[in-house]
Structure 1
Amino acid sequence: MKKRNWIGENLKKVRIREGLSQEQLIAQLNLLGLDLDRTSLSRIENYNREVYDYELVYLSKALNINITDLYDEFNL
């Protein structure tokens, strides 16, 4: 089984649902203290980069969601 980043598609769906561009989400993450660039976010959303646990915390805070929402395709 090929490994892939499970949250990529859900992250993108939530970001778009919230009306945020990748640049806007990056700006919010940077304000919270996470140094992530647009290329890295794009790679996460497209299953080309793994996500670290601490990044999940920042992503959920920036999007005002629970971490588990990124894993639950039916919760979107």
Structure 2
Amino acid sequence: MKLPAHRKLKGRNLIGRNLQRIRYAHDPAITLDDLVARLEIRGLFLSKSTLSKIENRQRVVLDFEVLEIAEALRVPITQLYGQK
């Protein structure tokens, strides 16, 4: 049985755990609602549910989404990939 393409990619997002860690590291922590609002200002419309799926590595993240998320969090894009 051949798996659908989206099932093959499950768990293959590299930034999820770092995204959550970075959000919590801010003082005060950045909530998913806060991040949704920051992204909307930048023209990227991701729901709270979608961001949660990204953090739990249940959704693949596109390159332009990673860029916008990094800028919304005010961190270098490399930090989302676990580099300093």
TM-score normalised per structure 1: 0.88
4+ residue segments displaced more than 6 Å: none
Distance 2:40 2:11 in 1: 28
Query: Which residue of 4, 9, 26 corresponds with 2:17?
Result: 9
Matched with 2:5 is none
Query: Which residue of 38, 56, 73 corresponds with 1:46?
Result: 56
TM-score normalised per structure 2: 0.80
Aligned residues: 73
Question: Over aligned residues, Cα RMSD in angstroms?
Answer: 1.4
Cα deviation 1:16-73 (Å, max 9, x = unaligned): 1121110111110001110110010000000000000000110011000111101116
Q: Which runs of 5+ in 2 are unaligned?
A: 1-9
Give the greater-gyration-radius structure (CA).
Answer: 2
Distance 1:56 1:47 in 2: 13
Evaluate the alpha carbon distance shift between residue 3 and residue 46 of structure 1 in structure 2; reply closer, same or farther with a 3 A threshold. Answer: closer
Partner SS, residue 61 of structure 1: helix
Matched with 1:21 is 31
Q: 2:11 touches 2:59 (CA, 8 Å); kept in 1?
A: no
Deviation at 1:4, TM superposition (A): 1.9
Indicate the percent of aligned positions where both proteins have the same amino acid: 40
Distance 1:64 1:72 in 2: 15
Matched with 2:7 is none
Query: Which residue of 56, 61, 67 corresponds with 1:57?
Result: 67
Q: Which runs of 5+ in 1 are unaligned?
A: none
